[in-house]
Amino acid sequence: MAMRVYLRPTGFLDSPFGLEGKAARLAGGLLWFAAVELVRMDGNRRAGTELIPVDEVEQAIDGLPPLERDAAARAWAHIVAPRAPIRFGERVVRLDQPQVAAILNVTPDSFSDGGWSEGDPAFAADAGVAFAAAGAAIVDVGGESTRPGAKPVWEGDEIARVLPVVERLARSGTALSVDTRKAAVMEAALAAAPVMINDVSALTYDPRSAEVIARARCPVVLMHHQGPPETMQQSPHYDRPVLFEVYDWLEARIEAAVAAGIAREQILVDPGIGFGKTVQHNLQLINGLALLHGLGCAIMLGASRKRFIGALSGEAPADQRLGGSVALALKGADQGAQLLRVHDVAETVQAVRIWRGLRDAALTPDPGNQV
C-alpha cells in the first residue's frame, strides 16, 4: 500500500475573533479550529504525525511529495468548503448547523423499538409528524432491521411496510429519508415522494441501486459496514487503525457513486457505528470523527441507543440508553457532524438547541472583548 496522508481538524475554538488567519471554519458550519493533525500512513504503519497551525497548513502541504501533496490539498479544500443543503422537492434542510434525523422503524424486529408500529401505517405516520413537530429536520423511515444477526427481508414485504408511511408523511410536508439497501424499495419510495436514500450498504447490496439514485438525482447516505448484518458483529477486525480504514473505504464508495452518475454534493457519509465494530472501534471512530470532513461530504452520525452504550453503562438495555445517546450526539456536533440520527427526538433536539445557543453566543461579537 502506498503512503497515505490524512488531515484531521482539531484545536476547536469558542470564537475566531481576533484570530484572523489563525482559525479556519469547518465545512461552512458553526465550528472554528486552530490546528490540523497531519497523519502519514505507510501501509499499516503510522509513519508520522504533525500538529500544524492553520496558518501553516498550506505551506506544510506544499512540502509533501507530489502524490501526498495532491491528496492533502484535496482534503484541505474539502474541510473548509461549505456543505450544500439537502433538497426534498420544495423542502430544504440546511447543513450549516447540526440537524436531527428521527428514526422511524416500521419493522417487527429492530433492536431498539421493533414492533411498536407494525401493521399500522397511520399510527407510524402520526409518530413521524410528531417527530417533525418536536424539531426533527428529517424523518428516516426503515422497513428492514439491520441489527446484528438480522436476516434480509423480501423487497415486497419491505415496500408494504414503508410505502404507506412514506405516502402519509409526504402529504404532511415532512422531509423524508428511507433507510433501505434495495433498488425496488428505493424506486417505490421515490415514486411516492422526493426522499433521501439512507443505504447501510453504501450501494453495494443491490447492483441496481446506484443507477436508481443517479436517475432520481436524490441525496444518498453511504454508510460504512464490515460484513452483512447476519455476521458483522461476530469478530470485527481491521488491519489498520479503524478510523483510516473507514475513511479509505468511504472515499472509494464516494468515487464509485460519482462514477455511476451521482453528484458529489448529493452524497453524505456515515461511519457505521456498530456495523462490524467493537466497542473500542466505535469509540475511536467517534473520537476521530472530524477526519471524515476531508471526504468533502456531509456526515451523518447514528450512535443512538447502540449496544456499546450499554457495554459502557452496566449493560443498560436499549430503552435505557438516553443519556449515552445524547452524549454521543453532542460529541458528534462538537466535531461538525451535520446530521444526528436518533430515536429520542425531543431530548436530542433540546440538547442540540442548547449547543446551538452556546455557539451563537460565542460567535456574537462583544465589542468590549475585541482586541
Name the residues annotated as catalytic: 306, 341
- Give the separation between CA 132 and CA 346, rounded to whole angstroms: 10
Neighbours of 62 (CB within 10 A): 10
Which of 175, 185, 110, 116 has the alpha carbon at shortest distance from 149? 110
Which of 298, 352, 345, 357 has the alpha carbon at shortest distance from 130? 345
Which of 78, 67, 62, 60 has the alpha carbon at shortest distance from 9? 78
Number of helices (H), then strands (E), belonging to the chain: the values are 11, 14
| Backbone angle region of 198, left / alpha / beta, with phi > 0 → left and psi within -120 to 50 → alpha | beta
Residue with cell 477486525: 237
Q: Which residues pair with 218 in a beta bridge?
A: none
Which of 351, 270, 288, 347 has the alpha carbon at shortest distance from 98? 351
Angle between helix 242-259 and helix 279-287 axes, rounded to 10 deg: 70
Q: Please report, in angstroms and rounded to a whole number, the separation of the first and last CA atoms in the chain.
A: 49
Residues 6+ apart with CB under 8 A from 313: 321, 323, 324
What are the DSSP E strand ranges found in the chain? 3-13, 24-25, 32-42, 45-53, 86-88, 91-93, 99-105, 138-142, 176-179, 196-199, 220-223, 267-270, 298-301, 339-342
C-alpha cell at 16: 475566531
- Give the separation between CA 118 and CA 107, rounded to whole angstroms: 6
- Give the separation between CA 113 and CA 95, rounded to whole angstroms: 28
User: Torsion angle, CA of 120/123/125/130, rounded to 10 degrees?
Assistant: -160
